[in-house]
Each structure stands twice: as structure tokens, then as C-alpha cells.
Chain A
Amino acid sequence: MMLLIDPLSATPPYEQLRVQVLAAVHSGDLAPGDKLPTVRRLAEDLGLAANTVARAYRELERAEVIETRGRNGSFIAASGSAAQQQVQAAAALFAGKARQLGVAPDEALAIARAALGIRS
């Protein structure tokens, strides 16, 4: 998924960034546990000042959309009820394990569907 920043827009760049990350989370393009680029990397990519990206990240963190895990960077936070958050965390673990074992996404999804008892 791509972020697009228009420097000539009336909306400040940090706000464009914040809104796009938020929209990506809502649409499911960014899932809980997804790692965001570092502030410096994103600032260089988008030709913005590091403070601008940091401000967008701070706003998103305040809204509990992302979480910063020390030196590991910023990640999309789990959202919703406690039950949903636990399932999201389990799903992130499942996805990580599937990637680690070299299981293709379609195959992993089929396994998850079967575990949920969904018959297609």
C-alpha cells in the first residue's frame, strides 16, 4: 500500500499522512501488528521534515491507532474490544508463523477457514 503526499495541498502534510494511515487501518490494508517505516525513512521517502512525520505518528499514537515499541519501531495497534484485540494478536502470530514456514497466504487462509469451520 502506498501513501501519497501532495505538498501543494491546503491540508498540512502531517494531516495528510495521519488521515491516510487511519484510512488504511479502517480499510484493512494495514492490519494490527504491521510495522510502519521509521520516521526518518518515511521523511526521506516523502521529502518531508522528520518532525512532520513524527507529529503524524504522535497523533496516531494518541488516537491508539499505532503503538511504538521502543527501538523496534512503530506498529499498527490492535483495536476494538478486548476479545477483538486478542484475536488480532493471535492472527498476527498466525500470519508470522505462516510466513516463517513458507506457507502461501491462500493456503494459510484455507487452513484458518477450516479451523473456523467455514465450508466453501
Chain B
Amino acid sequence: MNTVVVIVAALVLAGLGVRLMHAARTEPRERMLHTYSQQVGLALVPEIVPELSRRIYRRERAGIVGAMAGLVVGVSALAGLHGNEASWNGLLVGVTMTVGSTTGLIVSDSRSAFAPVPDVPRLARTVSPGLADYVTPLDRAFSLSLLAFAALGYVAVLGVIAVNPERVFDDVSVRSILWPAGLLLALAAAASLLTWAAAGRLLGRGQPAGTFIELAWSDAFRSTTLRSLVGIPGIIAAVSSGVLFLSLSQAIEIPLPGSVGEILVDSFTIIGPVLLVALIGWILASESKRSTTHYLRRLWPETAVELDRRRHARGTAADDQRDDRPDENSRTKTPA
């Protein structure tokens, strides 16, 4: 395996370790809490700040430890499985880190359902929220679209290899190119089933709360975790396609100008980066206010309206007004 990958992995591991220690301090926790509060559009009520701060730290710790475990697993897998110096090694490690981090968040959120509740009045919804209340349809659709695209792309490449136009694949070790991408595609398909099951399990977990604001914060955490979870199959699928097309474009000999081989190489060279750019764009879009406050519009519409009013008072762009309108199908009418 490339020693550069090992060195970079060791540096990232050390960086995550430093971040873990840093997050344990009071000041960074407060900053994290304020940033998260703005992101999810909920107020910080003094009575619950200590508990929120602890919970934010537990989530951050779980996410970082998960990412560290993912990094170790990813690098070990690269060393054990093929040991080559492929240019996409970093992408694979990125995937295992994302999966590890999200797994950490799920464990942290699931455990919060069993947090001891003091002897105070407790509230619960009569109708349990579903995935659609926490994750936007766009987020769900995009992840599955990437999976479908990756599957179609793989089948198309198999077809092109079978046809072997102008014998461009004669000198290419097709198997060594197809199996890593195929394995990732199979993992993406398995991940879509696993994440669906994990989302169901998480949604079935309770949300102990004594006040509306506690319940709203619980919704905010759940929304963040579910958005990460839903994205995993799409991320693995996009990386699978990226690996496939990047490997193919590198493996085919530079063909004659104007030949079918040149068209193939150009196509393979373009598709990989385009997919990765789409993936990055999607990840950024899923961090937009529309996604991070989707649960408010569905479950706490009055709070969403209030948030909208505050944003406009601060001079936020007028375009947000339409986007942040509460959904007609929202489940509660109670302000958080």
C-alpha cells in the first residue's frame, strides 16, 4: 500500500484525537452548541443548556470515535484486500470514515432514549413522526438516484467491455478494475437496506422529554442523524462510480485521436469527477437551512414561522420565505 496513504491516515487519526480532546473542553462545547442551535433553528433555553451541552459532546465524541474506527478499518481493508496504489484509496477511506461517524451518531441517539427521566411531567406525541418528518424528499431521492445511476453505469461499462470496441480493453486488467467498484456497489445496495432498517429502529425509539423545547431538541438531533444515515448509500454509490470510471480512464492506453477509444476515455475521465462534484454539491445542499430545519416545518410549524420571521428581520434573502413555509401536513401545531 502507498506509504503516503498510511502517513496521511496517521495524521488524520492524530487530528481527530486532538479534536476529541478539544471537544471535551467547556468553551468549544459552548461554541458547538451555539453553532448547532443556529443550524437547526432552535433557541437555547438556559434550563436545558447544561443537558444539551452534554448531549452535543456525547454526539461529537461518538461521531469522532466512529470516524477514527472507520479510518482504521478503511486503511486496514486497503492493506489487506489489494495493497495496490490506486488513486482512489482516499475515497474508500472517506467512505469508511463517514459510515463509522454516522454509526457513532446512531448509537449515541439510540442510547438517549434510555436516559433516566426525573420525576417530572413528561409528554409524548399521539402520532409518532416518520422519516419524511425529518428528512427532505430531495435528500432521500438523491441518495437513491445516485445508487440507481451507479448500478446503471456499472451495467453499461460491462456492456462496453463485452463489445470491446476497437479492442481498447485488450491490454486492460478488467477484473482488477471491476471488482473494487462492484464490491462498493454491492455495499451501497446493502447499505440502502441497512440504513432503511436502522432508520426504522431509530424512529421506533422513544424521545423522553418533559417540555416542548426538550422534545424539539430531541427532534433536531434525530433529524441530523437521519439525514446522515439516508446519505450513506448515495455516498458509497457515488464513490463506486468514481472508482470505476477513474480506474477505466487510467487503464486504457491513450488511443488515436478521433477513435472510439478516445471517446470512451474522455467519457470515463469526465463522469467520475462530475459524479464527485454532484456528491459534494448534494452534501453541501443537505447542510442548507432548508434541510436542517425541515423537521421544524413538519413537526413544529409555529416555531418554523417564528424562525422565518427572525431571519427576515435580520435581512435574510427573500427567497427563503417560500422555502421555510410550514408544511400543510405538519403533525403538531404546538410551538417549541
Contact = CB atoms under 8 A, between A and B. Distances in A.
B124 A42 contact: yes
Contacts of A99: 329
Interface string A13-49: 0000000010010000110001111101111111100
Interface string B197-217: 000000011111100100000
A8 B204 contact: no
B179 interface: no
Interface in B144-163: none
B204 A40 contact: yes
> A interface, by DSSP: helix, strand, loop or mixed?
mixed
A106 B209 contact: no
Contacts, number: 82
Contacts of A43: 206
B124 A6 contact: no
Interface stretch (B87-95, B111-119, B273-281, B313-321): B111-119
A115 interface: no
A35 B125 CA distance: 11
A47 B208 contact: yes
Given A35-B127, A38-B204, A105-B329, A44 B122 contact: no
A6 B119 CA distance: 8
Nearest to A1: B126
A116 interface: no
A18 to B, nearest CB: 13
B213 to A, nearest CB: 13
B205 A4 contact: no
B26 interface: no
A38 B122 CA distance: 17
B138 to A, nearest CB: 15
B329 A41 contact: no
Give the interface size class of chain A: 20 to 34
B263 to A, nearest CB: 42
Contacts of B328: 104-106
Interface in A87-109: 99, 104-106
A47 B123 contact: no
A2 B124 CA distance: 5
Interface in A44-67: 44-47
Give the interface size class of chain B: 20 to 34
A37 B207 CA distance: 12
A46 B125 contact: no
B334 interface: yes
A4 B121 contact: yes
A36 B124 CA distance: 11
B332 interface: yes
Contact of A4 (B113, B123, B204): B123
Leading 5 A-B pairs by shortest Cβ distance: A44-B206, A45-B124, A47-B117, A104-B328, A45-B206
Interface of B: 113-114, 117, 119-128, 204-209, 212, 328-329, 332, 334
Interface of A: 1-8, 21, 24, 29-30, 34-38, 40-47, 99, 104-106
9 contacts: A2-B125, A2-B126, A4-B122, A5-B121, A5-B123, A37-B125, A42-B206, A44-B207, A47-B122
